Amino acid sequence: METPEENNALVVHESQPNKRRKKKSIVWEHFTIETVSAGCRRAFCKQCKQSFAYSTGSKVAGTSHLKRHIAKGTCPAVLRNQGNQLTPYTPGSGNGSTTETPKRRYRSPSSAYVPFDGDRCRHEIARMIIMHDYPLHMVEHSGFVTFAQNLQPRFGMVSFNNVQGDCVATYLREKQNVMKFIEGMPGRVCLTLDVWTSRQSLGYVFLTGHFIDSDWKPQRRVLNVVMEPYPDSDSALSHAVACCLSDWSLEGKLFSVTYNHPVGEPGLENLRSLLCIKNPLILNGQLLIGNCIAWTLCSMAKDVLWAGRDVVKKIRDCVKYVKTSESHEEKFFELKQQLQQVNSEKSLFLDDQSKWNTTYQMLVVASELKLVFSCLDASDPDYKEAPSLEDWRQIDTICSCLRPLYDAANILTSTATPTAITFFHEVWKIQTDLARSVASEDPFVSTVTKAMQEKMSKYWKDCSLVLAIAVVMDPRFKMKLVEFSFSKLYGEDAPAYIKIVDDGIHELFLEYVALPLPLTPTYAEEGNNENSMKEDHQGSLLSDIGLTDFDVYIMDTTSQQMKSELDQYLEESLLPRVHEFDVLSWWKLNKLKYPTLSKMARDILTIPVSSAALDSVFDTVTKEVDQYRCSLRPETVEALVCAKDWLQYASPEISNAVVKMEF
């Protein structure tokens, strides 16, 4: 039993302020307290063993200096063990509270202090919206407002109108850079027109410029997005092109136009007349018009699938029966193993009917597994009618018709810059195969291939001259491939068509010869090369000794020699057909040997064969601008689309920069 004295002593002891309680601050994970003398205790770092003042008599030093020792990284032991360093002190975690705000803030020496910049925040919000296609109204969404206010209370929230202005300002700033870039292009510009529709029946023409830079590298930039109220009118495309030419001062520099929208003869005449006025040369506009090869291939594929739509649906239903039931899929797999199918690794999948290549791939896989389908339980009410042998024969025919289209379209998606050279050979092969298939005695084959041949023949008629002239500009082929291909395609009539190409390329060359000062190409602006310093030095010497009129004299006395530059190129032996041949690099190396012809080759090799984006080559439906974008002003839509394209070409220092701000 406790005595009163003991009880009183206990009470006094519990009320004493010096009672050692459990310390909650995180610094005590890194420090220990030791008594060094009577009435004096010091805190020792567990890592570096340094000591710090803690208490002397009744005076307690506190823990702020201990926190700095850990948080600022001044502990030598921590610096030596960066890989396994102790958990740094986090302000506000000392007593477990999440709301305590410390009076001072300590930063790691590795992170530089950057003051808060509200304007820079608005600029980055605009870039974020542009680059990721976020809706402009997101800045007014309650979730974003709450997030931004908690992240940085000092940031003044912006409205829809504010961020719209910021996005347009970003577009205008980037446009100045693109203008300077295009002004420095030594050659002509080719345009592609990609027409999108909308639920409001408005049309949006995406105009992309293609050109070869001073280092002989292909470049492309989205230049304009023009809203056309009546996209099917005869003047829609010509109006969009006129807007682009005026906006970028490209009158006289346009070389070709490639489009993916059905255009009637009046529309083509409007476009051709406009282009001929702006470019009186260039074969009187014959090279200025071209259909999109992706659109042509897609149109042909749709014809094939429509002709066999009944049997295709039957196969799709069979695949759906297998893929939409786990038990059916397991049974199908067991049958495939029992029948020892060769392509056992291939699995069925349902197609996306908006992408014709997925339908083709589904039919190919299903056809290879037709024996397995024939063994499925036909008594199952969910299993539709099993395809007959005639059905599978039609599927094989459909696949054989789609295969060359699929292979050709894949070149567009697998090649960064598909050229007219490649597609001359692809189109010629398709033309030759179709000519043989049309004569088939099978009515289904004859019907399908006849519709395909009509569209391919129209494409060949409109674009064969462009494709053939591009082939001539390849030193591995020149006129020889044109002669060989035309002889196979046209038979006895081949010489007449070969002469059209030969006359066309010589006429085009003469037009380039007639350009001002053909013997003095401005190659000094075309990038640095191993001879640039030498050429500049020689040029300055000639100027110094008074030979500035020498070029004019050469033009007057050796015009015949300049005209034979093309013939000299054509008469030289063909280069070996190496696999990874870069035709642009070859012309870059030979631009001094062929000063005029290289200019013509550069423009011809710029011509794009497709206006479709890589992700829409196989689309069976027209691209549609979403309802939100349609609600914006056309100028805003253009700013968002163009700026997004241009920002991806920004210098690495800009695009990869990480802006560090203190919130």
pLDDT tens for each residue of 466-489: 899 999 999 999 999 999 999 988
Neighbours of 272 (CB within 10 A): 17
Angle subtended by helix axes 236-248 and 265-278, to nearest 10: 20
| Tokens of residue 504, six digits | 């066309």
Checking if the pLDDT of 525 tops 50, the result is no
Joined tokens for residue 537: 């030095």
Q: What is the mean pLDDT of the chain?
A: 79
Per the model's pLDDT, the better-predicted residue between 99 and 328 turns out to be 328
Write the pLDDT tens digit of every residue in 321-377. Answer: 888 888 888 888 888 887 765 455 678 889 999 999 999 999 999 998 888 888 877
3 state SS of 623: coil
Q: For residue 154, what are the CA distances in angstroms to 106, 113, 117, 150, 290? A: 20, 17, 10, 10, 55
DSSP for residue 523:
G
* Predicted local confidence at residue 217, as pLDDT: 92
What secondary structure, in 3-state letters, does 565-593 show? HHHHHHHCCCCCCCCCCCHHHHHHHCCCC
Looking at residue 332, what is its pLDDT?
85
Pairwise CA distance, residues 497 & 506, whole Å: 15
If one compares 290 and 250, the residue with the highest pLDDT of the two is 250
Residue 541 has pLDDT above 80, yes or no: no
What integer pLDDT is reported at residue 451 of this predicted model? 86
Pick from 250, 337, 258: nearest CA to 290: 258
Which of 527, 518, 577, 623 lies closest to 231 in space, CA to CA?
623
8 Å CB contact between 293 and 609: yes
Q: What is the mean pLDDT of residues 313-325?
A: 90
Render pLDDT for 402-441 as a digit per residue (tens, 0 to 9): 999 999 998 888 766 667 888 898 888 888 888 877 777 7
Over the stretch 290-312, which tens digit does the pLDDT of each residue have?
A: 788 989 999 999 999 999 999 99
Q: Supply the pLDDT for residue 333.
A: 85
In tens, the pLDDT along 452-463 reads 988 998 888 888
Q: What is the pLDDT of residue 125?
A: 93
pLDDT of 449 over the 80 cut = yes
Q: 257: closest CA among 298, 300, 223, 299? A: 223
581/576 Cα distance (integer angstroms)? 9
Distance CA 100, CA 122 (A): 30
Confidence of residue 10 (pLDDT cuts 50, 70, 90): very low
pLDDT higher than 80, residue 585? yes
Contact 72, 55 (CB under 8 A): no
Whether 223 shows a pLDDT value over 70: the answer reads yes
* Burial of residue 402 (number of CB atoms within 10 Å: 0-12, 13-18, 19+): buried
Range in 189-193, 361-365, 540-544 the model is least confident about: 540-544
The closest of 144, 136, 260 to 639, measured between CA atoms, is 136
CA dihedral 511, 513, 517, 523 (to 10 degrees): 100
pLDDT at 136 over 60: yes
Element (H, E) at 620: none
User: pLDDT tier at 566 (50, 70, 90 boundaries)?
Assistant: very high
pLDDT in the model for residue 71: 65
Residue 523 has pLDDT above 70, yes or no: no
When pLDDT is cut at 50, 70 and 90, the band that residue 23 belongs to is low
> In the structure, what pLDDT confidence band is assigned to residue 386 with cuts at 50, 70 and 90?
confident
Decide if pLDDT at 586 tops 50: yes
Q: Which neighbouring-strand residues pair with 32?
A: 44
Residue 253 reports pLDDT greater than 80 = yes
